[in-house]
Amino acid sequence: MNAVSLPPIERFARLTALLAEWQAVWRPLPFQHRHLPWEAHLPGLAEALLALDEEAVARWQDAPFAASPLAAWLPVDELATLVNLPALPADRDEPPGAWGEHIGGRKWQQIAAFVARTRVHPGEPLVEWCAGKGHLARTLARVHDRATIGLEWQASLCQAGAGLAERQGAAVTLAQQDVMVDEATHWLDDETHVAALHACGDLHARLIELAAEHAGAVTLAPCCYHRTAAQRYRPLSQHGRRLAAEQGLTLARDDLALAVQETVTAPRGDRRRREQANAWRLGFDRLQREVRGVDAYLPVPSLAYGRLPETFAGFCRWAAAQKGLDLPAHLDWSAFERAGRRRLVEVTRLELVRHLFRRPLEVWLALDRLLRLEEAGFSVELGTFCARELTPRNLLLRARS
């Protein structure tokens, strides 16, 4: 059987087994460990990674499965097979580009691709979940010439969205609604088709739970699985809970962040700033281990964009203050800064191991959602709705009861 047509239940079973078997390899963050726990069990792997040049690192960051040098240690080919999902074909032409004014270029292209793959049946009520300004709701309303409701809890977004809908003559009502409360159910009935593009963790999990009881169809591109109140992931499907328990696959909230780690390549300037921030954090890590005399990672809060101090010393003083750490008056700042840069080169290479498991984890989480809806009696398809370059969160679940 080819990978694309592998039944979801088989795909899920193999992914569960592989994620469980290799969790000691993909879970530890190289950023936090001076020596990774797996190094002793996989002799030669760390050395092979550390020997890679810049060009090779960039290549395998971009395409982790293609002729990977990790295949000598890790199940690269099977993982590649298991993440190979069908590209869902469009059922209709994409809506005209002019409809996308007021929407960023990439966002509009995602909406256009999503809408072209949303199968709306005659007469079924349409609801967009966590709609923001209702860009998706507006596009669905215009394509299907149908009144559409967008649920959004921020009044300002509802207002802005109502203005856009009026200007475009789209029959959209943006209802100010917290989807997490009981009243959210009132917007759904057995016929409703709920669409959600990039609704985060708990928000889309809530959609699935409510839709399982009160909707006729769901079209969902999930996002940010780690944005969830629970510290520990509880699979949505019964099958997922059973299999994860059998195989010993446990996922903490922080583990889930791996599933969305791939981002569209940032502009060169942003990338350079991010690299500098990371190198400084690693330089501070070296410094704090020495100052404290404790060879252990110390988490430092993240800094909002543009708030990074001007110099490495300034950054370390800020980080030390956050952690209540007294720094000696005299320190060889440039030596620690250089150590941070050297460490970043290593960490970037060691991270390639985790890259290999990123898409498998994302597909596993999407399959758990698919199985939850199947258990509720829906027929569900999972595939991609657009190219990865448009958004790496390009998985689409199409479910109908």
Binding site for ligand SAM (CB under 6 A): 130-132, 136, 151-154, 157, 178-180, 197-198, 200, 203
Taking the complex as a whole, how short is the minimal distance between the CB of residue 161 and ligand SAM, in angstroms? Answer: 9
- 82 vs 174, beta carbon nearer ligand SAM: 174
The residue number with the shortest CB distance to ligand SAM is 130
Nearer to ligand SAM, 224 or 344 (CB): 224
Q: Is 233:256 a contact under the CB 8 Å cutoff?
A: yes
The number of residues making up the chain comes to 401
3-state class (DSSP) for residue 379: strand
Secondary structure (3-state) at 382? strand
Phi, psi of 397 (to 5 degrees): -105, 125
Q: Is the dihedral angle over the CA atoms 299, 304, 305, 308 positive or is it negative?
A: negative
Q: CA-based angle 291:334:301, to the nearest 5?
A: 55
Closer to ligand SAM by CB, 157 or 339: give it: 157
Q: Give, in degrees to the nearest 5, the angle at Cα 19 between 233 and 373.
A: 50
- CA separation for the pair 19, 96 (Å, rounded): 42
Minimum separation from the CB atom of position 327 to ligand SAM (A): 39
What is the CB neighbour count within 10 angstroms for residue 47?
9
Beta carbons within 10 angstroms of residue 218's beta carbon? 26
Q: How far is the CB of 103 from ligand SAM (least distance, A)?
A: 9
Record the tokens describing residue 253, joined without a space. Answer: 């909230």
Tell me the closest approach of the beta carbon of residue 197 to ligand SAM, in angstroms: 4
Residue 98 CB, nearest approach to ligand SAM (Å): 19
| Nearest distance in Å: CB 280, ligand SAM | 29
What 3-state DSSP class applies to 206? helix
Nearer to ligand SAM, 152 or 285 (CB): 152
Distances (CA, A) of 382 to 87, 133, 241, 317, 394: 9, 27, 20, 48, 11
Judge contact between 185 and 214, C-beta under 8 A. Answer: yes
CB of 199 to ligand SAM, least distance (A): 6
Quote the least distance from Cβ 99 to ligand SAM, whole Å: 15
CB of 365 to ligand SAM, least distance (A): 17
Q: Which residue has the tokens 């996002």?
A: 223
The nearer residue to ligand SAM, 114 or 233, going by C-beta atoms, is 114
The residue whose two tokens read 């080819």 is: 2
The DSSP call for residue 50 is H
Nearer to ligand SAM, 133 or 354 (CB): 133
Determine contact, residues 151/184, Cβ cutoff 8 Å: yes
Angle at 367 between CA 94 and CA 401, to 5 degrees: 70
Residue 337 or 362: the one with the smaller Cβ distance to ligand SAM is 362
Q: Which is nearer to ligand SAM, 152 or 262 (CB)?
A: 152
Give dist(CA 348, CA 39) in Å, integer: 16
By C-beta, is 11 or 144 nearer to ligand SAM?
144
